[in-house]
């Protein structure tokens, strides 16, 4: 076993076996203790995944080309002022741990339209970040466990969210594997998807995204990307288990270090896996342009079209044979980095799988800004406006959900390894449905959330 692998395993064994990672579970019931230990085992298992032991890793994503020096602020290994912990070294194995304890009050945690109840509680969040680099490869994994304790029944849960990236490259070939794992409840998983936020129902989702690229010439690259997603729910009364698959061949051309053009084809399939089977097949094409205006300012824009065909089994209440819906897709991004500010603006319009037996056309606008007032104090603003339009089992059926979220946070670094933050989040959800002739609009659901958090992150352990 490689020396760095043994060092990491001994570090994790000392951390968890000493009880540091399990001390909070003594206050929970036996069921919560078992659930917590299972989640922590997942954290260790992901960190000890075999490819990691072989020193494999991931530079920029396949299909993306790094711009001139400084053109991509915030890339892995690039320190950002005010962030807890030191930037990882350019090579070797680095383990970073983070522990956050939060107190939370929410006036309507599940955005319920009626019988609104406020909740109070705490969220304990240990986080493990592991990175490893070689001259040609990169590996990183980021796993967070959220132990949610609230004063209302069914609202408490132990959740896991994990991301993994692995890549390697040669003179002509490049490959990447990305994956995400979410084990939470529909209280959180549905906020920006179906909008059916219900406490106490388990949600498990896994996404795997492999990519392979070949450099035809120093300025031309062919890329084949695929994505497979599976979502499963603890109750099928409201939700439907589904799978989603996509295949995207892409051609990249570098005009110069500041201008990159992309042309892509896409094929996507959505299908439910229980009850009356629903499928959607999407076919389309898009073109995009990425521009580095300066070392601190860059952006991209992509436009495309897509055709959707759907089918529903004859056992459905309202069988749908086929729809020839034609729609457009948009992806636009702007990033600006100044001496004391980091500003990003993202706009997307694309199909997305939804847990209510269908696929939605989701239009999203996201704006974020971080302002560093002093080396210790930073102010953050994050806003999201999202529209989800999706067909029901009848072509004439109309359903749209609008979701708004605005978060402001003040974060103060007490020391180089500890910080405290105060945040306020406003959320709003509005639903309208019916047919083309009759639209039923429902009163919007609102939520006000207040949170205070304390975070501790020791310096990374390098092996």
Rounded to whole angstroms, the Cα distance separating 149 from 322 reads 46
- Other CB atoms within 10 A of residue 224 CB: 15
pLDDT, position 91: 59
> Which candidate, 383, 409, 450, 452, places its Cα nearest to that of 107?
450
Query: Using CA atoms, how far apart are residues 157 and 250, in angstroms rounded to an integer?
Result: 41
> Tell me: domain 3-66+89-462, CATH 2.40.160, correct?
yes
Residues 6+ apart with CB under 8 A from 293: 258, 299
Largest Cα span, the chain: 69
Taking the chain (463 residues) in consecutive chunks of 10 residues, what is each chunk's mean pLDDT? 42 39 38 44 41 33 35 34 42 90 96 90 97 94 97 93 96 96 93 86 97 96 98 91 96 96 96 80 95 96 92 60 78 96 97 84 96 97 92 56 95 96 96 62 84 95 82
Distance CA 380, CA 385 (A): 17
What distances in angstroms separate CA 100 from CA 20, 145, 184, 264, one per listed residue?
Answer: 14, 10, 18, 41
- In this prediction, residue 182 carries a pLDDT of 97
Domain spans in the chain, listed from the N-terminal domain onward: 3-66+89-462
Task: Report the distance separating Cα 463 and Cα 88, nearest Å.
Answer: 11
Cα of 443 vs its chain's centroid, Å: 29
The sign of the CA dihedral 12, 128, 87, 422 is negative
Q: For residue 219, what are its two tokens?
A: 């300025």
- The whole-number pLDDT of residue 356 equals 80
DSSP state of 47: H
Distance between CA atoms of residues 25 and 397, nearest Å: 48
Cα–Cα nearest to 221, from 350, 69, 60: 60
What would the pLDDT profile of 414-457 be if each residue is shown by its tens digit? 999 999 999 999 999 988 776 555 556 666 799 999 999 999 99
Tokens of 159: 């959740």
Which tokens in the block code for residue 420? Answer: 């405290």
| Residue positions counted in the chain | 463
Specify the 3-state DSSP secondary structure of 53: helix
321-337 pLDDT, tens digit per residue, is 556 778 899 999 999 99
Q: Name every residue whose Cβ is closer than 8 Å to that of residue 428 and which is 6 or more positions away in sequence.
A: 402, 403, 404, 405, 444, 445, 446, 447
Q: Tell me if residue 80 falls in helix, strand or coil.
A: coil
Residue 152 near residue 118 (C-beta atoms within 8 A): no
Residue whose C-alpha is closest to residue 231's, from 262, 194, 200 = 194
Q: State residue 78's pLDDT score.
A: 34
Question: b vs e for 9-34, b when ≥16 Cβ sit within 10 Å of the residue's Cβ?
Answer: eebbeebbeeeebeebbeebeeebbe
Query: How many angstroms separate the first and last alpha carbons of the chain?
Result: 14
- What secondary structure, in 3-state letters, does 324-391 show? CEEEEEEEEEEEEECCCEEEEEEEEEEEEEECCCEEEEEEEEEEEEEEECCCCEEEEEEEEEEEEECC
Nearest to 228 by CA among 212, 242, 245, 211: 245
Helix (DSSP H) and strand (DSSP E) numbers for the chain:
4, 20
Structure tokens at 115: 């019988």
CA 187/CA 265 separation, integer angstroms: 35
Q: Find the helix or strand (DSSP H, E) in which 427 lies.
A: strand 418-435
Enter the pTM of the model.
0.78
| Distance between CA atoms of residues 291 and 294, nearest Å | 9
**Which H or E run contains 172?**
none
Supply the pLDDT for residue 9.
40
Residues 6 or more apart whose CB falls under 8 angstroms from that of 90 comprise 77, 133
> Pairing between strand 119-133 and 137-150?
antiparallel
């Amino acid at each position: 076993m490689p020396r760095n692998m043994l060092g990491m395993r001994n570090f994790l064994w000392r951390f968890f076996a000493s009880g540091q990672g399990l001390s909070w579970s003594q206050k929970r019931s036996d069921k919560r203790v078992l659930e917590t230990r299972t989640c922590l085992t997942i954290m260790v298992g992901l960190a000890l995944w075999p490819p990691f032991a072989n020193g494999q890793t991931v530079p920029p994503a396949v299909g993306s080309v790094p711009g001139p020096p400084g053109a991509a602020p915030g890339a892995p290994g690039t320190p950002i002022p005010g962030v807890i912990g030191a930037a990882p070294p350019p090579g070797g194995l680095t383990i970073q741990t983070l522990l956050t304890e939060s107190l939370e009050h929410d006036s309507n945690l599940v955005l319920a339209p009626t019988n609104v109840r406020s909740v109070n509680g705490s969220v304990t969040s240990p986080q493990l970040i592991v990175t490893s680099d070689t001259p040609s490869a990169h590996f990183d994994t980021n796993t967070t466990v959220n132990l949610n304790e609230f004063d209302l029944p069914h609202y408490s849960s132990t959740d896991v969210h994990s991301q993994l990236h692995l890549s390697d490259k040669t003179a002509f070939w490049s490959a990447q594997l990305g994956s995400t794992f979410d084990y939470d409840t529909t209280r959180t998983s549905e906020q920006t998807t179906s909008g059916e936020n219900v406490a106490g129902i388990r949600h498990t989702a896994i996404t795997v995204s492999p990519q392979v690229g070949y450099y035809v010439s120093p300025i031309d690259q062919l890329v084949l990307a695929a994505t497979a997603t599976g979502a499963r729910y603890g109750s099928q009364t409201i939700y439907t288990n589904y799978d989603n698959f996509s295949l995207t061949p892409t051609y990249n051309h570098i005009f110069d270090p500041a201008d990159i053009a992309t042309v892509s084809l896409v094929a996507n399939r959505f299908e439910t896996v229980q009850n009356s089977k629903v499928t959607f097949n999407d076919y389309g094409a898009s073109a995009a342009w990425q521009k580095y205006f300066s070392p601190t300012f860059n952006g991209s824009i992509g436009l495309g079209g897509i055709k959707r065909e759907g089918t529903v089994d004859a056992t459905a209440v309202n069988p749908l044979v086929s729809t020839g819906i034609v729609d457009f897709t948009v992806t636009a991004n702007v990033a600006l980095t100044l001496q004391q500010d980091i500003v990003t603006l993202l706009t997307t319009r694309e199909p997305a799988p939804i847990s209510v037996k269908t696929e939605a056309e989701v239009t999203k606008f996201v704006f974020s800004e971080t302002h560093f007032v002093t080396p210790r104090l930073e102010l953050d603003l994050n806003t999201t406006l999202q529209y989800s339009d999706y067909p029901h089992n009848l072509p004439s059926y109309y359903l749209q959900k609008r979701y708004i979220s605005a978060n402001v946070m003040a974060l103060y670094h007490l020391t180089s390894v500890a910080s405290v933050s105060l945040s306020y989040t406003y959320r709003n959800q509005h639903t309208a449905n019916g047919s083309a002739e009759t639209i039923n609009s429902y009163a919007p659901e609102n939520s006000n959330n207040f949170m205070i958090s304390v975070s501790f992150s020791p310096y990374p352990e390098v092996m």
